[in-house]
Amino acid sequence: MKNHRKYAREYFVPPVQSFNWTRKEHITEAPMWCSVDLRDGNQALIVPMSLEEKLEYFQLLVGIGFKEIEVGFPAASDTEYAFLRALIENDLVPDDVTIQVLTQSRDHIIEKTFEALTGAKKAIVHLYNSTSRAQREQVFRKSREEIIEVAVSGAELVRSCAAQTVGNFQFQYSPESFTGTEMDFALEICNRVLDVWRPSADNKVIINLPATVSMSMPHVYASQIEYMSEHLNDRDDVVLSVHPHNDRGTGVADAELAVLAGAQRVEGTLFGNGERTGNVDVVTLALNLFSHGVDPRLNLENIPVIRAKHERLTNMKVGQRHPYAGELVFTAFSGSHQDAIAKGMKWREEGERPYWSVPYLLIDPKDIGREYEGDIIRINSQSGKGGIGYILEQHYGFQLPAQLREELGYLVKGVSDRLHKELMPREVYGIFAEAFVNLDSPIEFVDCTLIRQDNYQTAVTVRIDGEVKELIATGNGRLDAISNAMSHNLGMSYANLEYTEHALSVGSESQAVSYIAITDETGRKFWGCGIDADIMTSSIKALFSAVNRMSQYAEPFRLNDRGETAVGLERVISGSGVPSTK
């Protein structure tokens, strides 16, 4: 791109190297979480939430398990002020939850903020002013010392107002635009605020270091955090917090590396809603921890419900490929992926497995309220035999032989490719049933009798083009006798019967399913499937299905220009043409 030279580095590395965090392999415990959905997330909405919507969203956050919730900027609007008062006056904040409010370091805003906080059982007062070189030079046109004075005077007023207001207050300071601030200056201004507030073990101060604009690669942010963590005054009595935005698409990485570098607390939003490209996504962060065997200390066991409520209250949509929560995030269309997942799930069913390790699935979807059916394997033109077989087994109980599964796979993929659509499980079953199950044309099985002497003798009644015929033959087994009756009397030549069967269901309504393959003189193999309450009858129906497919000797799913097929795909898709398995 021709304008790339107009951009230069606008972030600052620490004056001394801080890379101790690189020696840590992973995060071993969850940080403290603070939801900022109701402030940062809300102010990023085209239409901010109403008072009633904010109250409902607050209850959602409490139910998930957030212990710190930033509820707004009470001096910014009547709705924000009224919401805070409603929480306090109606005693809607649980005893183990601390609310947080944001205030600029300006006298009248601080004073109105404490007016709104009167009577709060536990509240964090979040004071901020911008410190970056760009803001100092372009917006405020103030020196470093003048910017420090803004922070210090604000901190002094916060301390004074807190002493005069009924309530229980903890203090938090953010050097807004931290990522664009020289590290020595960021450290100086934070320490000057700490000198005013004098944190203690019983009254810790939160220093929040926001990536107000994400400017660097994540490792630089981590080094900035580690430098601040190692040089802040009263470090044991300081809670070091981060608030990453997602301008470079690295919000989650910034937060994870910041925690490795010493951050103890993370401010973020559900699904990353926030200004510009969004805030750090707490759902992704928490479930990343979960995937490493770390308790995230948030209840995300029903992601579909959380996502639906978030979307309804914010009018924001969660992307289909959003980690963990997206509609398609656990879905595999690729044939090789489907095959590996299906085999991995089968492997888990075969014995006790202490750890989750299914290929292509980072976590068990059921742990967050997602379902295997409809979530994991879905069928389109990219799908393979493994996925198609998995769908039929999970939804309908069929355990197709490998070669039949492969042949069906090509049929299903061809239909999806021509129609340019995903196929639902009932449509996959419809294609299978129309092509292979209980076929009765051109030869319809009517009845048979079997007598065993030295071998089996049979009389098979069939209907061909409306005419009923009786076919007589013998064989060394019941199915062999029936097969001989067809081949000898109808002039059909085939060999190498391959046979397998299984129960399709259990109980009084149980059905048996049989699969038979026959091979014609050219070596071409034809599969048939039979379903019946009687196992012998299901075998006979499977044989007739195979013979009928051979007699037709045409691709049963050759599509015409209208996207129809020789066996009526439109009826299959609508469900009206799906044969009964009863």
| DSSP E strand stretches across 177-259 | 205-211, 238-244
**Residue scoring higher pLDDT (120 or 482):** 120
Which pLDDT does position 456 carry in this prediction?
85
DSSP string, 173-189: EEEETGGGS-HHHHHHH
CA-based nearest residue to 392, from 414, 366, 373: 373
- The pLDDT assigned to 504 comes to 83
Sort residue 378 into left (φ over 0), alpha (ψ -120 to 50) or beta: beta
Asked if the model's pLDDT at residue 128 lies above 90, the reply is yes
Average pLDDT over residues 530-534: 92
Q: Angle 144-147-151 (CA atoms, 0-180°, nearest 5)?
A: 135
Looking at mean pLDDT, say which of 42-46, 407-411, 420-424 comes out highest: 42-46
Q: Order of strands, edge to edge, in the sheet holding 443-452?
A: 443-452, 456-464, 467-475
Q: Crossing angle, helix 218-231 and helix 251-260, to 10 degrees?
A: 30
Q: What is the pLDDT of residue 581?
A: 38
Asked whether residue 579 carries a pLDDT value surpassing 90, the answer given is: no
For residues 12 and 2, give the distance between their C-alpha atoms in angstroms, rounded to a whole number: 26
Query: What per-residue confidence (pLDDT) applies to 375?
Result: 61
Q: What are the φ and ψ backbone dihedral angles of 320, each rounded to 5 degrees?
A: -65, -25
The two structure tokens encoding residue 344: 């991995």
Strand partners, 102: 126
Confidence (pLDDT) at 295: 98
Per-residue model confidence (pLDDT) at position 50: 94
CA angle (224, 226, 228) in 5-degree steps: 70
d(CA 223, CA 215): 13
Measure the CA–CA gap between 544 and 541, rounded to whole angstroms: 5
Confidence band (pLDDT; 50, 70, 90) for 381? Answer: low
pLDDT band at 564 (very low <50, low <70, confident <90, very high): very low
Average pLDDT value for residue range 451-464? 85
| Opening angle at CA 382, ends 376 and 387, nearest 5 | 40
Q: How confident is the model at residue 437 (pLDDT cuts 50, 70, 90)?
A: very high
pLDDT-based confidence at residue 508 (cuts at 50, 70, 90): low
Task: Give me the mean pLDDT over the 201-219 stretch.
Answer: 97
- C-alpha–C-alpha distance, residues 486 and 579, integer Å: 24
Tokens, residue 154: 């604000």
- The encoded tokens of residue 577 equal 């043409």
The backbone region for 167, taken as left when phi is positive above 0, alpha when psi lies in -120 to 50, beta otherwise, is: left
pLDDT at 220: 96
353, two tokens: 């497995």
Which comes out higher in pLDDT, residue 561 or 166? 166
CA diameter of the chain: 111
Residue 145: partners with Cβ closer than 8 Å, 6 or more residues away:
none
Specify the pLDDT at position 433.
Answer: 93
Among the listed residues 300, 274, 405, 285, the one whose alpha carbon sits nearest the alpha carbon of residue 342 = 405
Other Cβ atoms less than 10 A from the Cβ of 478: the count is 16
Q: Which of 355, 239, 350, 256 is nearest to 296 (CA)?
A: 256
- Residue 548 has which token pair? 């009928």
For the chain, how big is the Rg over CA atoms in Å? 34
Domains in the chain, ordered, with CATH?
Answer: 4-291 (3.20.20.70), 335-436 (no CATH), 443-574 (3.30.160.270)
Reported as a pLDDT band with limits 50, 70 and 90, residue 578 is very low
Residue 444, strand partner residues: 463
| Short-list 207, 206, 130, 209, CA closest to 169 | 206
Residue found under tokens 């051979």 = 550
Cα 506 to its chain centre, rounded Å, is: 34
Pairing of strands 68-72, 98-104: parallel
What pLDDT was estimated at residue 152? 98
Indicate if the pLDDT at residue 567 is higher than 80: no
State the Cα angle at 192 between 189 and 198, rounded to 5°: 140
332-358 tens-digit pLDDT: 767 677 788 888 988 998 888 999 999
Tokens of 6: 């107009």
Between 118 and 485, whose confidence is greater? Answer: 118
pLDDT at 563: 39
**The pLDDT value given to residue 580:** 40
Residues of the chain with pLDDT > 70, as a percent, come to 91
Assess whether pLDDT exceeds 70 at residue 479: yes
Lowest-pLDDT range, 92-96, 174-178, 460-464? 460-464
What are the φ/ψ torsions at residue 178 (nearest 5 degrees)?
Answer: -55, -40
In this predicted structure, what is the pLDDT of residue 229? 97
Within 119-217, residue ranges assigned H as helices are 133-134, 144-164, 183-197
Q: Are 87 and 122 in contact (CB under 8 A)?
A: no
Sheet of 495-503: strands edge to edge?
495-503, 512-519, 525-532
Cα dihedral sign, 335-433-530-376: positive
Residue type, 359: P
Residue 557's pLDDT band, with cuts at 50, 70 and 90, is very low
Higher local confidence (pLDDT), 69 or 275: 69
Q: How confident is the model at residue 507 (pLDDT cuts 50, 70, 90)?
A: low
Where residue 305 falls (left for φ over 0; alpha for ψ -120 to 50; beta otherwise) is alpha
The whole-number average pLDDT for the span 255-259 is 98
pLDDT of residue 160: 98
Q: How many helices (H) and strands (E) does the chain have?
A: 18, 14
What's the full length of the chain, in residues?
582
pLDDT of 9 reads: 85
Query: Cα–Cα distance between 558 and 402 in angstroms, integer?
Result: 23
- 384 pLDDT more than 90: no
User: At what angle are helices 478-490 and 535-552 packed, to 10 degrees?
Assistant: 30
